[in-house]
Amino acid sequence: MSFVTTDDGAEIFYKDWGPRDAQPIMFHHGWPLSSDDWDAQMLYFLGKGYRVVASDRRGHGRSSQIGTGHDMDHYASDASAVVEHLDLRNAVHIGHSTGGGQVARYVAKYGEPQGRVAKAVLVAAVPPLMVQTDANPEGTPISVFDGFREALAANRAEFFEAVASGPFYGFNREGVTLSQPVVDNWWRQGMTGSALAHYEGIKAFSETDQTEDLKAISVPVLVAQGDDDQIVPYKDASLKQAELLQNATLKIYEGYPHGMLTTHADVLNADILAFIQQ
């Protein structure tokens, strides 16, 4: 397996498939998953001739279960460590959920200043800010995230099963057929990671204000989200992202859930490809 060691000693696992001279696409996964969540996209874009790269966030998947740095700054610097190790240039960075926050911080702080980024894609992403504050009254109350922490600490396995079999993929909606293999794969990815990283990651994805990150990004960005996202409300996420970004293309999918990159991979993959090729 391939790893990059960061300045503070975290070992970051990554995949790197495809021609080294092809345009790279780097994928950034959501909480509490791993790069395996991008299987459908990596195989699709590999088949289209791209170089595809994805890493496991620190404390997630096969990356080391380091006890520190579970915050958006470290997530972005870890991504940069992989990019610089592989010397990726003219890259497209695609992030889902927490990974969308990671992309926004990486592109703003490292990717654009270093001239390494061509475009970005935010899929059901958490920026600019999830938690409800005086300045963000339409956000999600902190009590919801406290509930996540309480449930994770009490029984992580049970909590993860409930998330995957319920709101994440919209399996709790009337008329939607639950896919047990999809639930099992989500649970597998989550349980492979560190309980500490997942616990502290809740604060990272919910309380990090990324307004300035979004404002700083000038490359074209595709903003994509379903209007039935029960995890990250789209009116407080994608609609605001499109307003803050300098060069955004907004695409709202009727009835799609938070985990739409899995449930509707065929549609999402084609739309991302069209955006990249524009």
Instruction: Dump strand ranges (E) for the chain.
Output: 2-5, 11-17, 24-28, 51-55, 91-96, 117-123, 221-226, 248-253
Q: Which residues contact 111 (CB under 8 A, 6 or more apart)?
A: 80, 83, 91, 93, 117
- At 1 the pLDDT is 82
Alpha-carbon distance 90 to 77, whole Å? 18
- At 181 the pLDDT is 98
Nearest to 169 by CA among 108, 226, 121, 102: 226
Report the catalytic residues: 97, 229, 258
What pLDDT tens digit does each residue of the chain (278 aa) get? 899 999 999 999 999 999 999 999 999 999 999 999 999 999 999 999 999 999 999 999 999 999 999 999 999 999 999 999 999 999 999 999 999 999 999 999 999 999 999 999 999 999 999 999 999 999 999 999 999 999 999 999 999 999 999 999 999 999 999 999 999 999 999 999 999 999 999 999 999 999 999 999 999 999 999 999 999 999 999 999 999 999 999 999 999 999 999 999 999 999 999 999 99
- At 228 the pLDDT is 98
Contact 136, 236 (CB under 8 A): yes
Q: Which two tokens stand for residue 103?
A: 């992309």
Q: Which residues contact 79 (CB under 8 A, 6 or more apart)?
A: 26, 28, 55, 93, 102, 103, 106, 110
Which amino acid is located at 18 in the chain?
G
Contact 62, 42 (CB under 8 A): no
Helix, strand, coil shares, percent, the chain, to 5: 45, 15, 40
Task: Give pTM, 2 decimals.
Answer: 0.97
Alpha-carbon distance 130 to 236, whole Å? 7
